[in-house]
Structure 1
Amino acid sequence: MNKVFLSIFAIAFFALFAVSQKALADTVCQPIYGGGQTCVQVGNILVNKTVKNPQTGAFVDNLNINDPKLLPLSTVTFQITVTNTGSGNLSKITVKDTLPSFVTFVSGPGSFDRNTKVLTFEVSNLGAGQSQTFTLEAKTVEENKLPQDQGIVCVVNQVLATSDSNQSSDNSQFCIEKPVVAPVTKGGLKVFPAPTVVTTPPTGPEMLSLIGLIPAGGLGFLLRRKARK
């Protein structure tokens, strides 16, 4: 009786362990800015998408709205890492990376469809536990192509890797910020407003007629004194 009980317990334990391991291998969740999360991983393949921080140069999962931002016409660099998490060889893995709005393709492996903005490439014969990393470069659009009513625009880059029944996807977010307009300067110096002009009484040629009356007044005064004597 004890042997039967131990056997049932052992079977149940290993079954629970196997289900737990499968659940861990099948599901990987990552939050998305603005709410929600992406949870897609089926089988023995894992893809990880990172974006380069424009200030530190380090590759991170996401650049949120409070992180360093890219300017218009800036280069944005991504890394895509594909990992075989299983115990067998994966002969062919197809990777599809979809660029978001407000960026244009610059370089990357495989072929790029400009109509769908999808980059497609393949990874061949990836052994158990092995990883391969690929670099993708894009450029942000001109300032006049960004939304006029937004100073900062955040977008999400998506990647999907498939191999037979294995599938994995990941997202990477970054933000584009319009440059701040600097104050108008002249000759490198800040322009100050014109000083207020205070109006003063006129002292020009129109005063000559008054000056000319001074000798005449003096002569009249002398004639009056002489007449009284």
Structure 2
Amino acid sequence: MKKLISLVAVLGALIFLVSSVLASDCGGLYQPSCQSYSISINKMVGMPGNSTDAASYQYVDNLTVSDPRFSPEQLVFFKVIVKNTSTTTLGGMTVKDNVPSYLTPVEGPGTFDATNRTIAWDAGFFNVNEEKTYYFKMQVNQQSSLPSDKGLFCVVNKAEASSNTTSNSDSSQLCIEKKVTAAAVPSAGPELGMLLISGEIALIGAGLYLRKKS
């Protein structure tokens, strides 16, 4: 019985030793330092404006209903910053942007897949702490293509960056307000004028009749 217990103890010690050796393949005195793999991505939206220069806009993380709103057919600019925050270089970086409903892509990197409503592109190779900035120009759909039951609504634009070893994502919100159209007022044409004259004549006739009767 003692031999069996001793054998189990020896086997356990061997397993622990092998696991420790396998786990410490980096960071030891005579071994290379351990690498960390991480990406940061920051998705922002430009404040509503009239400029066609993407770099001229002030970009924020999100726009709520209490912030300036976009109108039908207005241009919307987005900014995406991708950074390698790893301790080693990263290759094979790809970025995907999920285009929200009621927006149509106009300019920017990558290829637009209308079925999945995504824009994807190869961001290439990133050195340690290297960051790359991308701009998108999109346009709000015309009023007839916006929700008929909503005068004010918000949409979210999400971007994702990924490599073979890590990934990350970020999103940005903006709000759209439909234009209020005034109800059409009928014009005062000849028919309306004749109707008013006829009414006045009828009232005068009624007044004369009442005067004679009295």
| TM-score band w.r.t. shorter chain | 0.5 to 0.7
1:52 lines up with 2:46 in the alignment? yes
Task: Spell out the pairing of 1:56-205 with structure 2 (5 A cutoff).
Answer: 57-182=57-182, 201=204
Work out the CA distance in 2 between the residues paired with 1:75 and 1:110. Answer: 19
Work out the CA distance in 2 between the residues paired with 1:125 and 1:162. Answer: 12
* Unmatched segments (≥5 aa) in structure 1: 1-41, 186-196, 207-229
Count of residues in correspondence between the two structures: 156
Distance 1:126 1:183, change over 3 A: same
Work out the CA distance in 1 between the residues paired with 2:109 and 2:61. Answer: 20
The AA in structure 2 aligned to 1:51 is V
Q: TM-score, normalised by structure 1?
A: 0.61
Q: TM-score, normalised by structure 2?
A: 0.65
Larger gyration radius, structure 1 or structure 2: 1
Mean CA deviation greater in 135-144 or 54-63? 54-63
Work out the CA distance in 1 between the residues paired with 2:65 and 2:121. Answer: 30
Q: Which runs of 4 or more aligned residues in structure 1 lie more than 6 Å from their structure 2 counterparts after TM superposition?
A: 197-200
Q: Is the 8 A contact 2:37 2:88 kept in 1?
A: no
Work out the CA distance in 1 between the residues paired with 2:40 and 2:141. Answer: 31
User: 1:182 deviation in Å?
Assistant: 4.7
Q: Deviations over 1:141-198 (max 9, x none)?
A: 111111111101211011110011211100111111101235769xxxxxxxxxxx98
User: 1:63 deviation in Å?
Assistant: 0.8
Q: Deviations over 1:11-33 (max 9, x none)?
A: xxxxxxxxxxxxxxxxxxxxxxx
Q: Deviations over 1:97-138 (max 9, x none)?
A: 010111111111121111111101112221111110001111
The AA in structure 2 aligned to 1:64 is T
Tell me the secondary structure at the aligned position of residue 64 of structure 2: coil
Q: Is the 8 A contact 1:55 1:68 kept in 2?
A: no
Work out the CA distance in 2 between the residues paired with 1:99 and 1:118. Answer: 6
Tell me the secondary structure at the aligned position of residue 88 of structure 1: coil
Work out the CA distance in 2 between the residues paired with 1:52 and 1:183. Answer: 33
Distance 1:108 1:55, change over 3 A: closer
Work out the CA distance in 1 between the residues paired with 2:58 and 2:151. Answer: 25
User: 1:46 deviation in Å?
Assistant: 0.7
User: 1:55 deviation in Å?
Assistant: 4.3
Identical positions, percent: 34
Cα RMSD after superposing both structures:
2.9
The AA in structure 2 aligned to 1:54 is P
Tell me the secondary structure at the aligned position of residue 144 of structure 1: helix
The AA in structure 2 aligned to 1:71 is S
